[in-house]
Amino acid sequence: MATSETVLQVLSGGLPCPYRLDPFSGGVNSAPSFCSDVKCGRNRGLVSKKFNNRVRLLGKCTSRGVGAVKSCGKVKCAHRWESMRCKCQKAESFGGETANERSPVSLPVNGVDSATNIFERGSFALKGKEETRSIEEEAWDLLRASVVCYCGNPIGTIAANDENSGSILNYDQVFIRDFIPSGIAFLLKGEYDIVRNFILYTLQLQSWEKTMDCYSPGQGLMPASFKVRTVPLGSVDSATEEILDADFGEAAIGRVAPVDSGLWWIILLRAYGKCSGDLSVQERVDVQTGMKMILRLCLADGFDMFPTLLVTDGSCMIDRRMGIHGHPLEIQALFYSALLCAREMLAPEDGSADLIRALNNRLVALSFHIREYYWIDLKKLNEIYRYTTEEYSYDAVNKFNIYPDQIPPWLVEFMPSKGGYLIGNLQPAHMDFRFFTLGNLWSIASSLATLDQSHAILDLIEAKWAELVAEMPIKICYPALEGQEWRIVTGSDPKNTPWSYHNGGSWPTLLWQFTVACIKMNRPEIAEKAVRLVERRISRDKWPEYYDTKRARFIGKQAHLFQTWSISGYLVAKLLLANPSAAKIFVNEEDPELVNALLSANPRRKRGRKGFKQPFIV
Ligand code: GLC
């Protein structure tokens, strides 16, 4: 493995050249000229360098004032200095309007210019002659204004474009998970380049050395977020270059590795192919390698007795301590979905037979485990209530030794007579009975839950609308941890106070996954009801990241405004409801082969004695 400051690999080939303003290029929608002959395995074609734990993709754009030559690998493109003004140009090209018609152009900061000041924040509805912009139009403008460019190519969207926020923290970065709804919105709009670029650039980040206090996590890890930085070149007066800085958790609050990033990346890759019809991206050698690296990391043998992925607290959307370490449902649903997506995309070749076998085995075991042991409804709850404990045997009913006293009083009231859900986590002697929304919704989308379970989850959401949706969709989890439990589990986290942020806060971005789940179950009217709720206030409230209180009445205490995934989540929901069949690009239908495998390999059968020969007769 290379060390800092070491040039790892230098390959010639076309780096993504700025094409947007290049009068000689094929226009705004022409594909960037990525390294064409991608034969490379690990470093995959781009000229790359590791420097002080930052990734420098030396396809950097160096600019030296008007008329400067931009160097992109070997390719030199005549460029004007203004080509660094990525976002305005992007907004223009996406929107079909010219930026100049709307605003003065401003310089980029972190790869994003302040194009948002082309709109007067929060005043979309009342501009000029009482011009009323629809919420959707406003959302598109905001989404386009959040686009980040690298070397003139759109590669992602920043987490929040809240210029009035006192603490930006890392919200000026492109988060992998946050980009998913943005990417899908662009895909559904037929704007594919940004997603293609995102997939390929984040892939470049994957294989870089990442260390924290001399320790490196697994090779396939995808970053939580990255940032485009424009820095002076040093050698030449006023010349600058753009650098991608990736964060794999080494800088993140709590230093948690984002397990979900790679899983989302695979899901987006499949959606890109399905939506654009361009399968050349998933067929690339480097993309296949990247996918396998993620899979190998997830499928690696460990000490586990369970097929579920064992992760630390905060390794997904809930990215700080909330008592979700172990085998949280969200990760399992994404894992299952990513395995199915990868299986569709992996090129059959001798070298991957073992991987595909491991993947298939895991799918069967994982779906059995979740469907059987995570599922809870009134009947199951009553069974747990009457569990016998301390069963030492291979065929125990209460396999995980759950003490009935663990059933929390709130659950007895909460569980409707019709409906059920998958619990948040299962560990030896511990069931986390909290309802986690994303895990449940993605279990529906990915068919990790059975058809009956999927309907039951939606039944429960309908029955418990006042608790789970209330005034703004939708609670990240239910109920909130309070008092001593909050103190112990969150470590007295002042951001995760009861009914705020990750601790029972309401997150509008979840609307898109909710819509996917409702459409898959042919119950779009439930999602429509939620969209109507969102439309009542989200624009007026300036697109907050989350809402607080039991009924989601307040804008979150520390919520960022103009949060991109709140905006794109809404847009995806609208686009899908207008064209429900488009949801196919990310749902996974129940695989009949898998069901058969599950039946024939039924783990519920008595522990077998296959091959066991009684050595002697007594
Ligand atoms: C918060 C959320 C996380 C999200 C990030 C950027 O940390 O918990 O899921 O990715 O903000 O929006």
Instruction: List Cβ neighbours of 537 (8 Å cut-off, separation of 6 or more).
Output: 472
CA of 545 to the centre of ligand 1 (A): 9
For atom 6 of ligand 1, which residue has the closest CA? 159
| pLDDT range class, residue 609, cuts 50, 70, 90 | low
| pLDDT range class, residue 207, cuts 50, 70, 90 | low
- The rounded mean pLDDT for the chain is 80
**Residue 361 belongs to some domain of the structure:** yes
Instruction: List Cβ neighbours of 25 (8 Å cut-off, separation of 6 or more).
Output: 17, 19, 77
pLDDT of amino acid 454: 98
pLDDT of amino acid 265: 98
| Ligand 1 atom with the shortest distance to the CA of 170 | 6
**Residue 11 belongs to some domain of the structure:** no
**Residue 90 belongs to some domain of the structure:** no
CA of 36 to the centre of ligand 1 (A): 34
| Ligand 1 atom with the shortest distance to the CA of 316 | 9
pLDDT of amino acid 602: 64
Could you report the per-residue pLDDT of 84-131, keeping only the tens digit for each? 233 333 333 333 333 333 232 233 334 444 333 323 333 333 344 445
Residue from 148, 177, 315, 476 to probe ligand 1 pocket by mutation (most atoms less than 8 Å from CB): 177
**Residue 61 belongs to some domain of the structure:** no
pLDDT of amino acid 601: 65
Residue from 317, 331, 565 to probe ligand 1 pocket by mutation (most atoms less than 8 Å from CB): 317
528-541 average pLDDT score: 97
301-328 average pLDDT score: 94
Give me the helices (H) in 96-158, please: 99-102, 135-145
pLDDT at 8 over 60: no
| pLDDT range class, residue 274, cuts 50, 70, 90 | very high
Q: By C-alpha distance, which of 193, 221, 188, 192 is closest to 207?
A: 221
436-444 average pLDDT score: 98
Could you report the per-residue pLDDT of 478-495, keeping only the tens digit for each? 999 999 999 999 999 999
pLDDT of amino acid 350: 75
Residue from 148, 176, 178 to probe ligand 1 pocket by mutation (most atoms less than 8 Å from CB): 178
pLDDT at 391 over 80: yes
CA of 595 to the centre of ligand 1 (A): 35
Could you report the per-residue pLDDT of 445-464, keeping only the tens digit for each? 999 999 999 999 999 999 99
Residue from 227, 319, 557 to probe ligand 1 pocket by mutation (most atoms less than 8 Å from CB): 319
Residue type, 247: D
pLDDT at 157 over 70: yes
Give me the helices (H) in 146-284, please: 176-188, 193-206, 259-276, 280-283
**CA–CA–CA angle 556, 561, 563 (5° rounding):** 105
Percentage of the chain modeled with pLDDT above 70: 74
Please, how many CA atoms are within 13 Å of residue 173, restricted to the half-sphere of its CB? 19
For 26-40, 336-350, 505-519, which range has the lowest pLDDT when averaged over its residues? 26-40
**Residue 274 belongs to some domain of the structure:** yes
| pLDDT range class, residue 408, cuts 50, 70, 90 | very high
**Residue 547 belongs to some domain of the structure:** yes
Could you report the per-residue pLDDT of 168-190, keeping only the tens digit for each? 778 889 999 999 999 999 999 99
pTM of the model: 0.82
| Ligand 1 atom with the shortest distance to the CA of 320 | 8
281-298 average pLDDT score: 96
**Residue 407 belongs to some domain of the structure:** yes
pLDDT of amino acid 578: 97
**Residue 73 belongs to some domain of the structure:** no
Q: Residues with Cβ within 6 A of ligand 1?
A: 159, 175, 177-178, 317, 319
pLDDT at 617 over 90: no
Q: What is the 3-state secondary structure (H, E, C) of 420-478?
A: EEEEEEEECCEEEEEEEHHHHHHHHHCCCCCHHHHHHHHHHHHHCHHHHCCCCCCECEE
578-592 average pLDDT score: 92
Q: Report CA-CA distances (Å) from 478 to 213, 481, 563.
A: 36, 9, 23
Residue 275 tokens, joined: 């939506």
Please answer whether residues 299 and 335 qualify as being in contact, where contact means their C-beta atoms are separated by less than 8 angstroms. Answer: no
CA distance 530 to 498: 23
CA of 504 to the centre of ligand 1 (A): 15
pLDDT of amino acid 109: 37
For atom 7 of ligand 1, which residue has the closest CA? 319
pLDDT of amino acid 36: 28
Please answer whether residues 106 and 57 qualify as being in contact, where contact means their C-beta atoms are separated by less than 8 angstroms. Answer: no
CATH number of 293's domain: 1.50.10.10
Domain count, the chain: 1
pLDDT of amino acid 199: 98
pLDDT at 271 over 50: yes
| pLDDT range class, residue 219, cuts 50, 70, 90 | confident
CA of 266 to the centre of ligand 1 (A): 19
Residue 476 tokens, joined: 């990240």
| Ligand 1 atom with the shortest distance to the CA of 160 | 12
Give the β-pairing of 153-157 and 174-175.
unpaired
CA of 507 to the centre of ligand 1 (A): 11
Instruction: List Cβ neighbours of 426 (8 Å cut-off, separation of 6 or more).
Output: 306, 308, 326, 327, 373, 374, 400, 432
Domain span at residue 374 reads 135-602
Give me the helices (H) in 70-163, please: 86-95, 99-102, 135-145
Give the number of residues written for the chain: 618
Could you report the per-residue pLDDT of 41-92, keeping only the tens digit for each? 333 334 344 444 444 454 444 443 322 223 333 222 222 222 223 333 333 3
CA distance 420 to 537: 30
Q: By C-alpha distance, which of 316, 315, 198 is closest to 246?
A: 198
